[in-house]
Amino acid sequence: MSVTSTLRILSSLLMSVALLMLGHGVFSTFLALRASMEGFGNDVVGWIASAYYIGLIAGTFKCGALVNRIGHIRAFAAFSAISAASMLAFALFVHPAAWIALRIILGFNLAGLYMVTESWLNARATSETRGKVLSIYMTITYLALTGGQFLINTADVASSALFIVSAVMLVLSLVPVALTRSSHPEPVESSYMSLRALFAVSPVAAVGCIAGGVILGSMFGMGPIYAKELGMDTRGISFFMGIAVVAGLFTQVPVGHLSDRFDRRSVIVAITIGSALMALALVFQHKLNFVPTYLWIALYGGLTATLYPLCVAYANDYLEPGQVVAASSSLVFAFGIGAAAGPTAAAIAMRYYGPGGLFLLSFAICLIYTAFIIYRMRIRHWAPVVEKDPYVPMPEVIATPLASEIDPRAEVDFRYDFTDEGEPRDAAT
């Protein structure tokens, strides 16, 4: 199937994904700035950001039953409506406790939205197009999240307009799904590998997902505050965050190519050392001029965005194809643990070391993880090239375990390319 045909079949879903990510992108950056403007301290901003990831992880493992009970379209409508209402409620209840609770609710429902879209994408993919579908999904995710960063320039942060803009995006994401003529995907199935089992398979991947979660969670949660405390205006902050996000799109292919040819752990070490150096440059950025800031954050964002997919690829090198989906649940959970801890830890670091504390935390995490990998390299030999699964780019945000079913490295049975009625999947759309 050609790229054009794939895009045509997935156009409605991809439009919903784009609107969903636009709304999420603008809201996450705007909320951090608005919380600071409301007089909330950095510690509170960190708690609010961490609350989102707590809700996201809870939703990832709890929303499947609801989707199966009421169906994908109705579930998407419910999750979208509650998410939009939650965004609007932030403007009505300006209190740290209320915002933390609302952020958990929002994270939970966004996880449901991701689950529905990823399940639907999997239902529209065939064995031949799974890699293509995942690549398109990842590209749309990155570009929409980047675009969301620049939407904060469309209104005054002090007004309620951006609450409304974010909510509108979430509501509009429902329209393409509601109007689709496609049949419902199959029920969401749960498959899980314990963290202990994952650690036994690959300690480097398990620890790396936690480390990657801390790094990216702290960046998304406290990055806008760092830029604000450096003296950037709203436009500068949007560029700072947008560059950090989109840079990850352009590093996936070259880093993946290197990891397929060499010991992935060596590539991960190079990535973590490079990230540590970029983080150190950002720690001392307040003593420099603003011109190099965008360069440092582009390199930092590009390098750190590959850490999670590298760890997934490394874990898959030691997994059977039938274990990929189950292991994905644990990898997502490990990443979520780190992402939930990241913003709170970064806020504490910023309390003692100023804005540079955000990247001082990342610097320390990168060094500790590098030391752990070097230790593991002395114990375990690397997987030869002939035994390795190919690197597959993954979205920078936490995908649900259902995204792994689209992963071409996962095992599918002989019925995958057909509907329950025996028709080819692509014909059923």
pLDDT in tens, 261-284: 877 888 899 999 999 999 999 998
How far is 172 from 148, CA to CA, in rounded Å? 15
Q: How many helices and strands in the chain, by DSSP H and E?
A: 16, 0
pLDDT at 91: 93
Q: Token pair of 205, please?
A: 């991947």
| 308, 293 Cβ separation under 8 angstroms | no
Query: Is residue 59 very low, low, confident or very high in pLDDT (cuts 50, 70, 90)?
Result: confident
Q: What percent of the chain has pLDDT over 90?
A: 40
pLDDT tens, residue by residue, 78-118? 899 999 999 999 999 999 999 999 999 999 999 888 888 87
144-to-119, 141, 151, 371, 390 alpha-carbon distances in Å: 20, 5, 11, 35, 26
pLDDT at 424: 53
391-to-100, 251, 278, 280, 306 alpha-carbon distances in Å: 36, 12, 24, 28, 10
pLDDT at 52: 93
Question: Where is mean pLDDT largest: 144-153, 174-183, 278-287?
Answer: 144-153
The DSSP result for 198-222, as a single string, is HHHH-HHHHHHHHHHHHHHHHHHHH
Using only the alpha carbons of the chain, give its radius of gyration.
21
Pick 422 or 307 by higher pLDDT.
Answer: 307
pLDDT tens, residue by residue, 225-240? 999 998 899 999 999 9
Q: Is the pLDDT of residue 429 over 50?
A: no
Q: Is the pLDDT of residue 345 over 90?
A: yes
What are the φ and ψ backbone dihedral angles of 188, each rounded to 5 degrees?
-75, 130
Ordered structural domains, the chain, with CATH? 1-180 (1.20.1250.20), 190-404 (1.20.1250.20)
Please name the residues in contact with 205: beta carbons below 8 A apart, sequence gap of 6 or more. Answer: 198, 311, 312, 314, 315, 331
pLDDT tens, residue by residue, 239-265? 999 999 999 888 888 888 887 787 788
Q: Is the pLDDT of residue 4 over 70?
A: no
Q: Is the pLDDT of residue 408 over 80?
A: no
The DSSP result for 381-395, as a single string, is PPPPGGGPPPP----
Mean of per-residue pLDDT scores for the chain? 82
pLDDT at 327: 74
